[in-house]
Every structure is written in C-alpha cells, then in structure tokens.
Chains A and B, each alone.
Chain A
C-alpha cells in the first residue's frame, strides 16, 4: 500500500502536508545543503514588506525552557529586491512557494504587495502575516476581528491566488478571528504565530531581547497551539495549517488529529534542518502501520469520550 499524503489548501494541491514556517527557513537556499527541498509540501518565505526593513537591534533571540524568544523585527530586503534577487532561485528549488507578506503600518500595503505577487506564476499562495508580535504597534491586526476582515478583503480584491491568514495566539478568542478571515475570503488559516513573551537577565536586570517583549516558540507553546487548532477546527470550514513547537512525527500528528489539514515546522529547522523530511517519512510509516490510505482521513480524527 502506498499511502496518499496529498492535501489541498483551497485550490493549492500539496503532495504532502508538511510545510516550513515563515521566518525559519530563510529563502530556502540555506537549507538546500541539508535536505532535498523538492520533498517538502511547500516553503513559506520569510515575511516580505513593501519597503526594506533592517530589523530590530541585537540581542534578537534567547533560549527559554523548551523554546526560544525572538524579535527579529521582519528584517527583509523589501518586495522589489525579493522578487528580483531571492524569488527566482527559490522558485527553481522545486517546492511550491508560498510568500508571506506583511504591512508595516498601513494595512493598504497588503493590497500593493498582493498585486505585485499576483503576476508571478510560480508563487502558489500568499500568507498574510497579520500577527507578527515584534513591530512597534500597540495592537496587531490579528487581535481585532474587523481589522482582520479588512486586511483579508484587501488582499482578496487584488489576487486570485489562495490566501492563508496567519493568526495570533495572543487573543481571547482565536476562533472569532479565524471566522472573520473565512468570511473575508481567506482560503485557509495558519495558527499559531508566536506568543508574546519576555525573558530577564537577573544579574544585569535587563531584558534578554532588546525589544523587551518577543515571540515565544518551540515545544513550550505546543499544547496551547494544539488546543487552539482544535477550537478553531470546530468553528470554521476552511483548512487549517497547524504549527507551534512541532519537533517530530508525533507532534506533527497531534496537530493533524486536532484538525489541521497541514502542519508547519518552524523552530525545529534551527536545530535539526532535516526535521521536515523525517516527519514526511514518519507520516508514511504511520499511515501504513495503521492501515490508513489517505492522510486526509486523519484530519480532525480525535476521539473524544462522552
């Protein structure tokens, strides 16, 4: 039996459900030495903004129990340079490319970004990063249902490509935001982005990351991320891309069984660059072992008693 790992995110067909998360995989090139990128379900790029951004001052990262804090500040060369310099080589690497985009201050920047990328055939989908916790603003778009709706709508008007809206876990009710993304025409949601956290050097009495607060990722957040995927799965009917501390096969399966159509590996890429490949192989074996023909039948297959 050859198990079927393929899944669909809107009109986007993926040969397997394992993606790499934005901001953890550069623009692909760095990882070509460690794995065959053609085996990946898709690559989600580092987030691109309209203008170049130099990012936040160091220190930008620190380790925490079973995780890490980061505050990179969306360092990127800007959409023009990205399209000219980074994208062509990325498209040649053989994995479907999903471009992550973000507005810096004005949400209408999303429209301009979508318009520019809509023309490029190789770009298979857009991920709307409305949930980066490391920009200088008091409130994220993803913390407001109406603003999230507006942002998705703006992009929807400017592209026919599948739209994936990336949600923030730093909210009271993540399902409400997922619903407004769905209502605005998003083809899928991805969750979760990092949790806003903080670490302190007690000897210096200084924050361990320069921006004081930063995004927490890694296995430390996994149980909360799985719970959020489970909650959102009950409320929406578009696919979910689940992420948050996926390190291996079993953690990837948790998200799928909770309701994720696909999973995305982030922080684990920093530690073991071949994590995704190990998960893809593991998924095949898991399906064979459990006599399951298609991974699709695993999605949301959680057995709840009573």
Chain B
C-alpha cells in the first residue's frame, strides 16, 4: 500500500446516481487484486472528514477505475471533482477474493452482485477471463440484482469479459422478478450444476446474509465482500470490525472479503 496523489482522467455520470472515476495510478493498478479497495481523501473537515473507501472496479493499463453511487456528502463531493484534478489516495488495501482455485480447476465461478456491489466483481471477472482455461469453455455466471432495469450495472461489461449474465429486479423490469438471492436459489433448485462452484458476492448486508444462508444449505463455498464504517483503512484504529467465528476481524485488513461461513450474522 502506498499514499500518493493521482490525476483524475475522467469522472463521469454513468446513469442515475452512478459515477465512473478513472485515475492515473500505474503503481496501484499494477499491485491491485480483485476485492481490494482504495481510500480516498476528499480533504474537507465539514462533511467528509475521514477518507472514503471504494472498492476497485477495474485496474488495467495504468488506470484505476472506481464505480460509485452518490449516497452522501463524501460521494457527492467526489462526483464534483473534475478531470485533471488530483486526488490523494491510499491503496491497494485489504484482502481480496481468492480466485486461484476457480482459475485452475474446471469449476464454474458464480458472481453475485447487488446494486453498486457489482463494482468489485467486474475486476474479478476481468482476472478470471485472463486465467480460465479456454479449452474448458467455462463462462463465469454473473447474477446482477437491482431495484429496476435502469439500475442494473455493468451487464455489458461482464458479457464483454465472456461471462453469462442473468439479472433480477424488484419490479421485474429486467430478468427475474424478485431479489437476486431468490434468483440464485431458483437456479440452484432447478438446473444449475453448482458442484465445485465458488460464489463471489458483494452487495448490501441483508443480501449477503441471505446468500450465506443459501450457500450454507447447499454447502457451496462463498466469498463475500463486507462493509463496516472505517476510520483509517490501514489497520490502525481497529474500528471496522465484524464478528467472525474467531472473534472480531477488521474489514480493512482481514477483509473486506471473508468466507461467508466465518461470519457470525446478526
């Protein structure tokens, strides 16, 4: 991990409240692994005092991409930053997805993203696309959940990376009508051959909790990316803990990606 000032290449609105930020950060982009995050300093005592952690959306050709949703003061300030300006970032941070097994065995990786939770999964799909054995013709399965069709993110990007994509929306405006975890359960109970599969997921806490319970029932290993309020992101404050079977673990250090069955859900 390093602290450095990087240049904004672009920072544009994708759709709705979703923005795509691209940073010129060759060193961080080279080191970054799927599931890791960067901590961005917005430099404002009034409303964005602490750094804001963002998972890495893509890292290639010296560029670091962040896909984010404007949800509060910090992301609002970030959305106002312009190309050519600099940002102070620390990264890459945390423990990401362990995807080596999916990369070397003939097994189907299943990626499940809810809302803005798809952001780090694109990076994972990118790396899987590089290392899955072409002869095995394994196409990672990506399940994307959102409120409605307009909020479905990255479907095209995943397809371009050679994934099969299925969507679930609360109102049925795209794909399966219902929650993405319901779509997942439905697929498991019908035709999906999930033997030897690994689930990689990111999304809201209730979604991940439900997913962990389904995976537990079918005995499928799942890796999930968690959030907790973070003050430092560098394992100094001990603030961002989650309860695991081995006591408290830090989201910024042992996480953000955890084995779903290690987490004690409340």
Contacts and interface: CB of A to CB of B under 8 A. Distances in A.
Contacts of B234: 30-31, 270, 273
A30 B45 CA distance: 24
Contacts of B90: 273
A269 interface: yes
Interface stretch (A59-67, A86-94, A142-150, A180-188): A59-67
Interface stretch (A18-26, A109-117, A293-301): A18-26
B240 A68 contact: no
A62 B231 CA distance: 8
A70 B47 contact: no
B49 A271 contact: yes
Interface string B213-244: 00000000000000011111111111111110
Contacts of A67: 49
How large, as a class, is the contact surface on chain B? 20 to 34
Contacts of A30: 234-236
Interface residues of A, number: 36
Interface string A259-277: 0000000010111111000
B1 interface: yes
Interface string A33-57: 1100000000000100000001101
A219 interface: yes
Contact of A24 (B236, B242, B247): B236
Interface string B35-75: 00000010001110111000000000000000000000000
Nearest to A209: B229
Contacts of A219: 45
Contacts of A46: 238
A60 B49 contact: no
Contacts of A63: 49-50, 229
B228 A270 contact: no
Given A58-B242, A270-B231, A72 B237 contact: yes
Given A26-B236, A33-B2, A61 B231 contact: yes
Interface string A199-230: 00000000000000000001100000000000
A70 B231 contact: yes
Nearest to B228: A58
A149 B21 CA distance: 56
Given A66-B45, A67-B49, A272-B41, A55 B248 contact: yes
Nearest to B47: A65
The main secondary structure of chain B at its interface with chain A is loop
Interface in A273-287: 273-274
Contacts of A118: none
B49 A25 contact: no
The main secondary structure of chain A at its interface with chain B is loop
A231 interface: no
A104 interface: no
Best-buried of A34, A62, A68, A270 by chain B (most CB within 10 Å)? A270
B41 A270 contact: no
Nearest to A73: B238
Interface string B116-142: 000000000000000000000000000
Nearest to A75: B238
Contacts of B193: none
B104 interface: no
Nearest to A29: B235
Given A26-B236, A34-B3, A67-B49, A57 B243 contact: yes
Interface string B89-118: 010000000000000000000000000000
A60 B239 contact: yes
B229 A270 contact: no
Contacts of B3: 34, 272-274
A61 B46 contact: no
Contacts of B241: 55, 58, 60, 75
Interface of A: 23-26, 30-31, 33-34, 46, 54-55, 57-68, 70, 72, 75, 218-219, 247, 267, 269-274
25 contacts: A24-B237, A31-B236, A46-B238, A54-B248, A55-B238, A55-B248, A58-B228, A59-B228, A60-B238, A63-B50, A63-B229, A65-B46, A66-B45, A68-B50, A68-B231, A70-B237, A72-B237, A75-B248, A218-B49, A269-B232, A269-B236, A271-B41, A271-B50, A272-B3, A273-B234
Given A62-B229, A68-B50, A273-B90, 18 more contacts: A23-B237, A24-B236, A26-B235, A26-B236, A46-B238, A60-B229, A63-B49, A64-B49, A65-B46, A65-B47, A66-B45, A72-B239, A270-B50, A270-B232, A270-B237, A271-B51, A272-B88, A273-B234
